[in-house]
Structure 1
Amino acid sequence: MKNAIVIRHLAFEDLGSLANILKQEDYEVTYVEAGLDNLVEIDPVIPDLLVILGGPIGAYDEQDYPFIIDEIRLLEGRLASDLPTLGICLGAQLIARTLGARVYPGKEKEIGWGSLELSNAGRDSPLAYLAPEHTFVLHWHGDTFDLPINSTLLASTTKYQNQAFSWGKSCLALQFHPEVTALGLERWFIGHAGEIAGTPSLSVGKLRQDTANYAATLELQAAKFWKAWFASLVDSENNRTTT
């Protein structure tokens, strides 16, 4: 059995639908809680997969949240060896920062369901399963990032150009949330009640209705996306061992 280390910043922002896919792919999952567990103890080259999930803090907030530096050091070790690494939302921003790109507050919050605009590279990647003709995805962020040098842009939206990128053979950074489920989002609506109330033109009722309309389709398409990404990791590893 392979092992996946998952760094979580909020209890309710978990792996969602990705948990079942990891089980199908024969991964044993260990959650590591940022702010509680000692991230320094994680050997960056030991996990078969490292996943860094989202959270409401900034990738530049290490003065208030010192563990961010530990996450960056962990990512440095992973990326130096081009080992399978996935970042979602804050996780994607931390990957971008680790690769030398700027992470900063965006011009407006992007919260709610919407489509992705895939680049040509995106349509040639597993993200093709999340193309706008197949599904909407959930966006929930206020920060954004510049595209790191030597990375490949995979997806954009009308509000933010950099929504997904790949780097090397095994690193994927996603600003949006393909992992969410309808049931799991009910916890988000509670945990993020203050942010929802403080964001113009946003309400729990609207988010819940859109979730009812789009979440089931996303979960089906996300399963195809995740499985295709894991298949690409196997191909990359096979190429690595034969060259």
Structure 2
Amino acid sequence: MKTAIVIRHVLFEDLGLLAPLLQEQNFAVRYLEAGLDDLSPARQADLLIVLGGPIGAFDEDKYPFILDELAVIKHRLSLKQATLGICLGAQLMARALGAAVAPMQQQEIGFAPLTLTAAGEKSPLHALQNQPVLHWHGDQFAIPQGATLLAASAQCPHQAFSLDNYALALQFHAEADCQRIEQWLIGHAAELAMAGAEPGLLRKQAAENRAALSSACRLLFTQWLNLLPQNRFHNE
């Protein structure tokens, strides 16, 4: 059985829609809690997934464990090991590859569509064409050297990048299960208040997009997982 290690920063920002998909594809999933667990098992996993969280990819002075995450991600990417980063995870991937990560002028919170690049239209992200997705971030990454820009949004020019078929970084939350949006509204209540975002609107958008978004994101991740090299990766 293939192994998938998942680095999680807050409990409710978990695999979401990805969980049943990984099970179907015969991955044994193990969560590692950022700041608590030893991350060394992530170096040998067949797949590493780094999830989101309400801290910055550059906040190691406040959260020293970020340096451990960066080391693991940099190691895996140097060996072209399968790696997926979402929101904070994508920003950590960018930083591990030498690209800048910095605050935006305004937070991007809510459901809005992506604009795919030509490369994005030929990638698994084509499943999200014209489909509003969940955005929830105040920082943005630059595109690392050698990476391919796949998508943008009205507020953020860099929403996704890839490295060949082994690494994918998504600024938006394709994994989020809209049926569980209430957990996000509760868990990020302070952030929503500071950003002036209306929970009622997010709740309405989640209900409107739930069925179509779930189907589109399932297709996105299924196609990306099917592109991954089939050989097992090991630490060198």
Asked if Structure 1 and Structure 2 have the same fold, meaning a TM-score greater than 0.5 normalized by the shorter chain, the answer is: yes
Give the TM-score normalised by structure 2.
0.95
Report the secondary structure of 1:91's partner residue: helix
Alpha-carbon deviations, 1:3-43, whole Å to 9, x = none? Answer: 1000000000000000010011110110000011122x325
Indicate whether 1:42 and 2:41 are aligned.
Answer: yes
Does the 8 Å CA contact 2:179/2:210 hold for their aligned counterparts?
A: no
1: distance between equivalents of 2:143 and 2:178?
A: 31
Given residue 57 of structure 1, which amino acid in structure 2 is its aligned partner?
A: I
Aligned with residue 213 of structure 1, among 201, 208, 214? 208
Q: What do you get for the CA RMSD once the two structures are aligned?
A: 1.3
Matched with 2:32 is 32
Aligned with residue 58 of structure 1, among 56, 59, 65? 56
Matched with 2:114 is 116
Does the 8 Å CA contact 2:87/2:171 hold for their aligned counterparts?
A: yes
Shift in Å, 1:110 = 0.2
1: distance between equivalents of 2:226 and 2:178?
A: 26
Structure 1 gap ranges (5+): 239-243
Aligned with residue 169 of structure 1, among 165, 169, 178? 165
Percent identity among equivalent residues? 49
1: distance between equivalents of 2:139 and 2:210?
A: 24
Shift in Å, 1:183 = 2.5
Structure 2 gap ranges (5+): 232-236
Alpha-carbon deviations, 1:31-89, whole Å to 9, x = none? Answer: 000011122x3251x10000000000000000111110000110111001101000000
Report the secondary structure of 1:198's partner residue: helix
Matching of residues 216-227 of structure 1 within 5 Å: 216-227=211-222
Matched with 1:182 is 178
Report the secondary structure of 2:181's partner residue: helix
1: distance between equivalents of 2:30 and 2:217?
A: 21
Matched with 2:20 is 20
Matching of residues 32-181 of structure 1 within 5 Å: 32-39=32-39, 41-42=40-41, 44=43, 46-132=44-130, 135-181=131-177
1: distance between equivalents of 2:160 and 2:4?
A: 21
Does the 8 Å CA contact 1:181/1:216 hold for their aligned counterparts?
A: no
Indicate whether 1:197 and 2:187 are aligned.
Answer: no
Does the 8 Å CA contact 1:78/1:85 hold for their aligned counterparts?
A: yes
